[in-house]
Structure 1
Amino acid sequence: MRNYTLLTAAAIATTLGSQGALIASAFAVLEAGGDAGDVGLVAAARTIPLVLFLLIGGALADRLPRHHVMVAANALNCLSQAAFAVLVLAGEPRLWQMIVLAGLGGTGQAFFAPASEGMLMSSVSGEQASRAFALYRMALNGASMGGAALGGMLIAVAGPGWVLAIDSFGFLVAGSLRAFLDVSHVPPRPAGRGMLADLRDGWREFTGRPWLWSIVLQFAVVNAVVAAAQSVYGPLVARDDLGGPGPWGTALAAFGAGTVGGALLMTRWKPRRLLLVGTLCVFPYTLPPAGLAVPLPLWALVGVMFLCGLSIEVFGVSWMTALHQEIPEDKLSRVSAYDWLGSIAMVPVATALAGPAESSFGRTPALWGCSALAVLLTVAVLFVPGVRQLTRRTQDVPAQRPVTAPAAGPSADTEGALGRPG
């Protein structure tokens, strides 16, 4: 469990800093004279390289020692955030400079994320894997809530530059911890294969399992419409009907509390039908857009957001357990990369289209459409046999082959996010 402990501690260090840094980068743009469009450009600059380089990052993490990839990515994030902090503290950072540095941060994340997920899954084994994933996610969710709150306070007191500097230091600490990870248990990777061959192997692993690609496809749309509802329409509804940003912040905090509660629940609960239970728990994830469409009073919206956070965390732990159980160790990072890519690729598109959709159809119909689309896709996934039939193994048996139609039973064969499937 040494690797698991190091991974958890390092993830807490980076999450605490990064959540505040996301807020700090937006305020840095605004304080430099930028507007909402400029904030969007800096955010897009982080997302675009993440999408472009994820698959390469996954293939690289399955070719090289994963902790080397993670440390290198942390070093890039540390340096880019340090440069961002220096520019902000020195005064008058230029927009193009912030865009470039945000892009470097997204590039680091693209190489880090698949390696990290593969390393985490290979660090636990046996029946305790599900509980370990739940504890890991609970720690990250708690750090995310705390980091956002602390970051907001520090920005008000000291300014965004110091928050960016703290985030850089967090990456330094995390990279130092990850340098001590032990990969002696990982079998040597075969030599002489090219990157394209590795990507093809990962694609075959991904497409050979209908339960896997169908859920990733589902979340490509579900994550996108829910993100559009919460990031674009949510603040507008809060302004017009809930009393402003304070109540909306309360609702978002309730979602965060729900994720912690869901992770705590999954430390004790081990549903036998992993993906059936997980997919059923996606339905509450579709409720916030509907709640905003009504709109619900604040107390009811807080309850919906808490339930949403709890239920999606049940799915998240179940998803990670299924991947750990069914995907061969040497392909974990490549499959994780396809998972990440599918889960985030449509989010920028959906948020960009949210405004035109409101202009064309109205805000309330657009919100109902988001909820209905997410519900329909979740229902469709339940028709995939592997989603209904995949069961938790009673002992740790390494996955060796793709399975397209798992049989029911204790030994039947069978991911991010926000949200992402994982």
Structure 2
Amino acid sequence: MTRDDAPSGRRRRIPRPPEWAGRNFRLLAGASFITNLGSSGALIAGAYAVIGTGGSATDVGVVAAARTLAMVVFLLVGGAVADRVPRQRVMVTANAANAASQGLFALLVLAGHPALWQMAALTATGGAAQAFFSPAAEGMLLSTVETAHAGKAFSVFRLSMNGATIGGAALGGALVAAVGPGWVLAVDAAGFAVAGSMRSRLDVPAAERTTARRGFLRELHEGWREVASRSWLWGIVVQFSVVNGVVAACQSVYGPVVAREHLGGAGPWGLALAAEGVGTVGGGLLMIRWRPRRILLVGTLGVFPLALPAAALALALPWPVLALVMLASGVAIEVFAVGWMLALHQEIPEEKMSRVSAYDWLGSVAMTPLALALAGPAAAAFGRTAALWGAAALVVLLTGAVLLLPEVRRLERAGHKPSRVTAAADDLVPAGPPAAAGQPTVKAPSGGSGEGSAASS
């Protein structure tokens, strides 16, 4: 039966994508969906691969920290390369490196008991690849759609990524419990290979044109001056350098251990992470309709709930309650993400946005390797419960400190006055932090084994 031979006698029409969603947009969105789906599961698989070899919480933290440390080391180099080499080529090469590192990680886990240094080295390779991928991917999505449709494009892209996070976490946790972490890592490696193939088919000649540069160090200095001149910008970057670290420690180190001892293992933990993904979808839908005037004040207030998962883990609450808490934190992540990205697009000159974004991302992840590495020793020294309460307290205290900055409280959404933000950008549902990382999706905590859940992943 053809589509014209429907029993009702009416022609059935196959839904077509909207006109603004061209081939490049569909390829980027599809590739990112695939990698986010695999990376969400690989985050769980990596932790349980370490635990399966008899590793301690400290060992889990070391392996998770290796990825973010590599990102910190190579991020500015990656940004410089992305300004001088076609971005598509950088993205495809990074995907190939991630596919190779995850594939070897999977083989080692399936073959027996990989050494801790091997797992850390392979995870670091993935982090280095991400450091090159993220700057190259910054702005690529915007080049695929007209400005008038940017809001719709980011809305669809963001919801797609959050859907992948939900499905990947739930499926990954179930597969780790059913067949072991090695196979989940293998699926993630295959996803990177498929995504790289899709990105190699992008037709983006206009996006690959580069302009003359005045020198790497001079450009970095100009970007630094933009950051240092705005208290709201450097204040929030400093805040998230710690917040991202403690959230990553809770999700990559403490969470899997608490789940194994009190919640029933990887399956319930995966469902709890999936609940956070559901929250991000709900938060994104909320922020499509809600347009608060004081964007940073509302966004910063949305950071307080990020302390709740640490408190829930400290109390070893049943996993359904933990899932509800994670759901609330997911909504809060989106509330912050919208305000933050609108502030950046509204206040930062377009020609300096990539350099400011590089400092933003670098500052936001700089402390994460240290937090991951110290998570195990802190639990050993003070007790895991005390360490978790300390993590919750740090989120609350730093967020309260940021609210003391007048610019954070007063910065308003651009109204009808002239602004670098167009009407379409004002409707934007942003794609999270610049190119990031990390799998939760604001200035997202890093620590996954894949590209993470940032928009450009």
Same fold by TM-score, threshold 0.5 exceeded?
A: yes
Tell me the equivalent position of 2:86.
Answer: 65
Which of the residues 154, 163, 168 maps onto 1:133? 154
Q: Name the SS for the 1:222 alignment partner.
A: helix
Matches of 1:327 and 1:149, distance apart in 2? 38
**TM-score, normalised by the number of residues in structure 1:** 0.81
Identity, % of aligned positions: 60
Tell me the equivalent position of 1:83.
Answer: 104
Q: 1:205 to 1:56 in 2, by over 3 A?
A: farther
Matches of 1:201 and 1:168, distance apart in 2? 38
Matches of 1:361 and 1:34, distance apart in 2? 22
Question: Structure 1, residues 220-248: CA drift from partner, whole Å, max 9, x if none?
Answer: 11222233344444456657776776655
Residue 44 (structure 2) pairs with residue 23 (structure 1): yes
Q: Is the Cα contact below 8 Å between 1:78 and 1:169 reproduced in 2? A: yes
Q: Name the SS for the 1:307 alignment partner.
A: helix
Tell me the equivalent position of 1:35.
Answer: 55
Question: Structure 1, residues 97-151: CA drift from partner, whole Å, max 9, x if none?
Answer: 4443322211101111222233235555647545543432322222122123333
Matches of 2:258 and 2:50, distance apart in 1? 25
Tell me the equivalent position of 1:217.
Answer: 238
Q: 1:107 to 1:356 in 2, by over 3 A?
A: closer
Matches of 1:265 and 1:331, distance apart in 2? 30
Tell me the equivalent position of 1:164.
Answer: 185
Which of the residues 271, 277, 282 maps onto 1:256? 277
Q: CA deviation at 1:82?
A: 3.2
Q: 1:253 to 1:121 in 2, by over 3 A?
A: same
Matches of 2:62 and 2:381, distance apart in 1? 24
Matches of 1:93 and 1:231, distance apart in 2? 19
Q: 1:390 to 1:226 in 2, by over 3 A?
A: same
Which of the residues 350, 363, 383 maps onto 1:342? 363
Tell me the equivalent position of 1:311.
Answer: 332
Which of the residues 396, 411, 414 maps onto 1:389? 411
Q: CA deviation at 1:187?
A: 8.6
Tell me the equivalent position of 2:17.
Answer: none
Tell me the equivalent position of 1:203.
Answer: 224
Q: 1:308 to 1:23 in 2, by over 3 A?
A: closer
What amino acid maps onto 2:366 in structure 1?
Answer: A
Q: Is the Cα contact below 8 Å between 2:302 and 2:332 reproduced in 1? A: yes
Q: 1:176 to 1:198 in 2, by over 3 A?
A: farther
Q: CA deviation at 1:53?
A: 0.6
Question: Structure 1, residues 37-77: CA drift from partner, whole Å, max 9, x if none?
Answer: 55444333322211111121123223433222212211221
Q: Name the SS for the 2:140 alignment partner.
A: helix
Q: CA deviation at 1:285?
A: 1.8
Q: 1:9 to 1:395 in 2, by over 3 A?
A: farther
Cα RMSD, aligned residues only: 3.5
The range that moved more, 91-100 or 266-275, is 91-100
Q: Name the SS for the 1:190 alignment partner.
A: coil
What amino acid maps onto 2:413 in structure 1?
Answer: T
Which of the residues 102, 111, 115 maps onto 2:136? 115
Q: 1:372 to 1:270 in 2, by over 3 A?
A: same
Q: 1:322 to 1:187 in 2, by over 3 A?
A: farther
What amino acid maps onto 1:23 in structure 2?
Answer: I
Q: 1:192 to 1:126 in 2, by over 3 A?
A: closer
Q: CA deviation at 1:86?
A: 4.3
Q: Name the SS for the 1:267 alignment partner.
A: helix
Q: CA deviation at 1:332?
A: 3.4
Q: CA deviation at 1:15?
A: 1.2
Aligned length: 408
Q: Which structure has the highest helix share of the two?
A: 1
Q: CA deviation at 1:185?
A: 4.6
What amino acid maps onto 1:346 in structure 2?
Answer: M
Q: CA deviation at 1:203?
A: 2.0
Q: 1:182 to 1:19 in 2, by over 3 A?
A: same
**TM-score, normalised by the number of residues in structure 2:** 0.76
Q: CA deviation at 1:301?
A: 4.0
Structure 2 unaligned residues grouped into runs of 5+: 1-20, 422-426, 428-432, 445-457
Matches of 1:262 and 1:381, distance apart in 2? 22
Task: Between the two structures, name the one with larger relative contact order (CA 8 Å, sep ≥ 6).
Answer: 2
The range that moved more, 361-370 or 318-327, is 361-370
What amino acid maps onto 1:421 in structure 2?
Answer: K
